[in-house]
Amino acid sequence: MLSERVLQLLQKTVPAMEEKGEAITRRFYPLLFSEHPELLHVFNHAHQHSGGQPKALADTLLAAARYAAQPERLFPLLRRIAHKHRSVGVKKEQYPIVGRILLGAMRETLGESIPEEVYQAWETAYQWLAQELIRMESELYRQAAVQPGGWDGFRPFTVVRKVKESRSILSIYLRPADGGAVPLFLPGQYVSVRLQIPGERYALIRQYSLSDAPGTAYFRISVKKEEKVGDKPAGKGSNYLHEQVHPGDMLMLSAPAGDFVLDMQSERPLVLVSGGVGQTPLLSMLKTVVREQPERKVWYIHAARNGQEHGMKEEVRQIVQRHDQVQNIIWYSRPTAEDVRNGSFDYEGYLDGRWLLRTLPSCPVDLYVCGPQSFVEQVARTVAARVGDCVFCERFGPGEVHVADSPANEIITPFSKEADLPC
């Protein structure tokens, strides 16, 4: 544990981290990659260019400064980071490299305005954080390798089927190329997919939720094709999977990871709220809960642009038909004329917070939310006034760091799976 003096010094740097945290991390990454270009095989290049990754690391530094004296609030964030690190193959030998360059970027950015004692406190704090992450990651590596069907690192999987789920979402079914077993996973978890795209100098690693229930002989990922929009370039990984990967091809996968998972010990009513392709981990949860807890009441609320963009809707419809305890509510922000004729949605417009509060049962619930950052934040703000709920949030797209502040209404708002987590 950190000494009282170190904790005091870290707390004093909160204003500096608020003001210049991103300047530090924007300087850090070029220094890191110029000295260790091999790490470009690990990090998401797109989020380097967009600024999502430097902001994520800056938010983590700020959280460390604020909450180092309250590790019970910091550890959920560290566990989330550890899961991501295990999934992309971060090794303990890389921590000293990252620490040295990060502290160098901090000194270069803040200069002599910060006393030497403060820099030494940050060095001590980084070593403590690194030790905690290494400890967590070592256990995650062990668990991934020793479970039935488990493995370490990346394992080749064969694409056995591709299914067009909507205009922009494609499901890919994968089996181990060695003919071995597929491990169980927790509903809500993801895999990292390592892509070596022709013409790209460095490998791309992307995270995709497992969109089917555990216990099958295959993994299924459902990928949204990210088109170019304005200054935002098209997604290299998603476009490659949509256009260049075919049945019989091989993809390299990590073992499942992530702690945005369904609590199967709870018997409280379950509310699943998804926006767009954020439905993928929640569909795994839905398919699992109707199998394992057939009496548990479930509300599945999904928001999409229209029926053409609404993936896996027939799959969900069949679940609802077979299970009376499941209620499905659909919002379309821009329904087509065909959607209107067919009555294929319940509400038009964007999911309304006041409607959500009226719809949720009065008793405490387990609420899982997944989707774009703005969507997740709206839902989280809406339900924050309710007491007794357990709220679990996952953002798709670069996200900020938030630390839970109320055990009675636990809001866990982690990094997105699309954003690289800091070392």
**Residues acting as catalytic residues:** 95, 137
Residues 6+ apart with CB under 8 A from 199: none
Element (H, E) at 366: strand 366-372
Structure tokens that stand for 25 in this block: 């991390």
Q: What angle do CA 394, 398, 403 make, to 5 degrees?
A: 55
Residues 6+ apart with CB under 8 A from 101: 28, 31, 32, 35
Interatomic CA distance for residues 37 and 346, integer angstroms: 51
163 three-class SS: strand
Closest by CA to 268, choosing from 249, 245, 292, 296, is 296
Interatomic CA distance for residues 105 and 296, integer angstroms: 51
Interatomic CA distance for residues 22 and 27, integer angstroms: 8
Give the β-pairing of 347-348 and 326-332.
parallel
Q: How many CB atoms lie within 10 A of CB 262?
A: 24
Interatomic CA distance for residues 36 and 148, integer angstroms: 35
Interatomic CA distance for residues 208 and 304, integer angstroms: 19
Contact (CB, 8 A) for 193 and 253: yes
Interatomic CA distance for residues 226 and 228, integer angstroms: 7
- Phi, psi (degrees; rounded to nearest 5) at 259: -115, 15
Interatomic CA distance for residues 23 and 230, integer angstroms: 26
Element (H, E) at 369: strand 366-372
Contact (CB, 8 A) for 316 and 328: yes
First CA to last CA distance, the chain: 20
Starting at the earlier edge strand, list the strands of the sheet with 190-195.
Answer: 204-209, 190-195, 250-254, 154-164, 169-176, 219-224
Instruction: Please list the residues that pair with 411 across neighbouring strands.
Output: 391
The alpha carbons of the chain give a radius of gyration, in whole angstroms, of 22
